């Protein structure tokens, strides 16, 4: 969208911005949603013009009312626009007319008005594949649909059981239905524009997953599959994604009192799953110091819905950051993973840097990955 500071254009200060006088001609432009602040020393007529920007009058009228000219103010307006402090009335009206205006207002704290709708369109059209549609997978899908995503590929061969109800989106009436059908039904109720490709299958090896993903062609993959294990499915996804240059999120696990927040991988840009294994094996060797682990299959551990919510919320946030494809909003879980402690509400992180032994950030891979654009 072309943004111009013409005399007849109407502008307003964005809803999340407060303009606070700090004395001596200095004004603090405080973005309450992100707590970012920027300070400018302004001549009084310029400050009065900016303070009066509510979209009701054109720039020329506002400038005349305060003894300023459009030429005087336009450079400063460009700066305020670039920093998401002001927006044109036409953009405000367009935002207010959409069903996703809350999401657009949120993204508008990161994307200037000129880029906002393009960023949202990238998000909306992103094809996200969710492998494993249990508790975390189902909540992640629902949150992404609420945020405006419309293209889903859901992969799971299981049916809803009563034991799933304590932590997933499924209801009593879904018991017996394939999980992918129950999810599709929920997503369609959130937005009529949603398209869901259902794959009723429990993927059991890397070849089958590669075949499915090659056909479905997702832009982003979320791993929520814990069968045979999260490590095994993550290794399959890693192999496919590194080769294809597709970013993915490991959604993590929630059935422990320390809930795991998985890493986000963008091939060529960040550490991959193999890199994380190398680092974690080293850390484990140090911390275990000869302790023998007992292998106990089918432990049937406890699980709690709020922990599922935390894990899936953070996974969905990462998908949104990947989906907007911009340096203005980059993934927060590159090169690290986290742990949420239910007892203390603390979130802690382990750094998982790219490892040269893995070779995944080599130039040959980097060149295949579409660069982030603004
Ligand atoms: Zn790697």
CATH number for position 281: 3.40.50.720
Q: Are residues 52 and 135 part of one domain?
A: no
Is 88 in the same domain as 228? no
| Confidence band for 328, pLDDT divided at 50, 70 and 90 | very high
Residues 143 and 193 in one domain: yes
Residue 279 shares a structural domain with residue 161: yes
3-37 pLDDT tens trace? 888 999 999 999 899 999 999 999 999 987 778 89
* 55 and 151 housed in the same domain: no
What pLDDT does residue 224 have? 94
Q: What is the Å distance from ligand 1's center to 261 Cα?
A: 19
Question: Distance, CA 268 to ligand 1 centroid (Å)?
Answer: 9
* 227/342 same-domain check: yes
Task: Name the DSSP letter for residue 370.
Answer: P
The arithmetic mean of pLDDT across residues 150-162, rounded, is 97
Q: What is the pLDDT of residue 363?
A: 60
- Of 83, 76, 101, 79, residue with least CA distance to 31: 83
Residues 136 and 246 in one domain: yes
Residue with tokens 């950030």: 361
Dig out the tokens for 84 from the structure: 């998401």
Which of the two residues, 302 and 216, has the higher pLDDT score?
A: 216
Q: What is the pLDDT of residues 185-208, one digit of tens each?
A: 999 999 999 999 999 999 999 999
Residue 312's alpha-carbon distances to 168, 239, 360, in angstroms, are: 10, 23, 27
Q: Is the pLDDT of residue 231 over 70?
A: yes
Distance in Å, CA 249 to ligand 1 centroid: 14
In a domain, 121, yes or no: no
Q: By residue range, what is the domain housing residue 350?
A: 126-366
Q: Which two tokens stand for residue 74?
A: 């336009």
If you measure from the C-alpha of residue 315 to the centroid of ligand 1, how many angstroms do you get, rounded to a whole number?
20
Quote the Cα angle for 275-123-240, to 5°: 35
Boundary (domain end) residue, out of 64, 99, 134 = 99
CATH number for position 87: 3.90.930
Predicted pLDDT of residue 295: 54
Chain-wide mean pLDDT for the chain? 91
For residue 374, tell me if it sits in a domain: no
Q: How many angstroms separate the alpha carbon of residue 272 from the centre of ligand 1?
A: 4
Decide if pLDDT at 214 tops 90: yes
Quick one: 158 and 222 in the same domain? yes
Query: How confident is the model over 327-350, as a mean pLDDT?
Result: 94
| Ligand 1 centroid from CA 287, angstroms | 23
pLDDT above 70 covers what percent of the chain? 92
State in Å: Cα 247 to ligand 1 middle.
13
User: 248: CA distance to ligand 1 center in Å?
Assistant: 13
My answer on whether 26 and 134 are in the same domain is: no
User: pLDDT tens for residues 239-270?
Assistant: 999 999 999 999 976 656 778 899 999 999 99
Mean per-residue pLDDT for 313-340? Answer: 96
- 346 CA distance to ligand 1 middle (Å): 28
Residue 192 CA, distance from chain mean position: 22
Residues 159 and 84 both lie in one domain: no
57 and 138 assigned to the same domain: no
Same domain, 91 and 156: no
SS (H, E, C) 35-82: CEEEEEECCHHHHHHHHCCEEEEEHHHHHHHCCCCHHHHHHHHHHHHH
């Amino acid at each position: 969208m072309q943004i111009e500071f013409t005399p007849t254009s109407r502008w307003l200060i964005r809803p999340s911005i407060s303009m606070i006088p700090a004395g001596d001609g200095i004004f603090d432009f405080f973005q309450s949603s992100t707590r970012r602040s920027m300070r400018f020393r302004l001549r009084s007529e310029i400050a009065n013009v900016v303070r009066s920007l509510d979209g009701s009058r054109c720039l020329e009228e506002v400038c005349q009312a305060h003894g300023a000219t459009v030429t005087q103010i336009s450079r400063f307006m460009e700066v305020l626009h670039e920093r998401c402090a002001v927006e044109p009335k036409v953009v405000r009206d367009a935002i207010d007319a959409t069903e996703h205006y809350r999401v657009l207002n949120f993204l508008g704290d990161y994307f200037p008005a000129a880029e906002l709708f393009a960023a949202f369109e990238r998000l909306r059209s992103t094809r996200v594949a969710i492998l494993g549609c249990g508790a975390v997978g189902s909540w992640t899908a629902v949150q992404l649909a609420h945020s405006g995503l419309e293209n889903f590929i859901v992969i799971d061969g299981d049916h809803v059981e009563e034991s799933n109800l304590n932590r997933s989106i499924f209801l009593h009436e879904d018991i017996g239905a394939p999980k992918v059908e129950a999810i599709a039904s929920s997503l369609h109720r959130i937005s009529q524009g949603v398209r869901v490709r259902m794959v009723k299958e429990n993927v059991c090896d890397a070849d089958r997953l590669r075949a499915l993903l090659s056909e479905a062609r997702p832009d982003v993959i979320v791993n929520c599959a814990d069968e045979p294990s999260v490590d095994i499915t993550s290794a399959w996804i890693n192999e496919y994604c590194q080769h294809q240059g597709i970013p993915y999120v490991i959604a993590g696990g929630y059935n422990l009192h320390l809930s795991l927040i998985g890493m986000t991988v963008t091939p060529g840009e960040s550490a991959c799953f193999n890199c994380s294994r190398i680092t974690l094996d080293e850390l484990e060797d140090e911390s275990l110091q000869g302790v023998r682990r007992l292998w106990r299959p089918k432990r049937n551990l406890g699980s709690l819905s709020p922990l599922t919510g935390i894990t899936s919320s953070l996974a969905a946030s990462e998908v949104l950051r990947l989906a907007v494809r911009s340096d203005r909003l980059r993934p927060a879980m590159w090169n690290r993973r986290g742990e949420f402690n239910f007892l203390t509400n603390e979130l802690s992180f382990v750094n998982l840097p790219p490892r040269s032994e893995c070779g995944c950030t080599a130039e040959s891979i980097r060149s295949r990955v579409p660069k982030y654009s603004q």
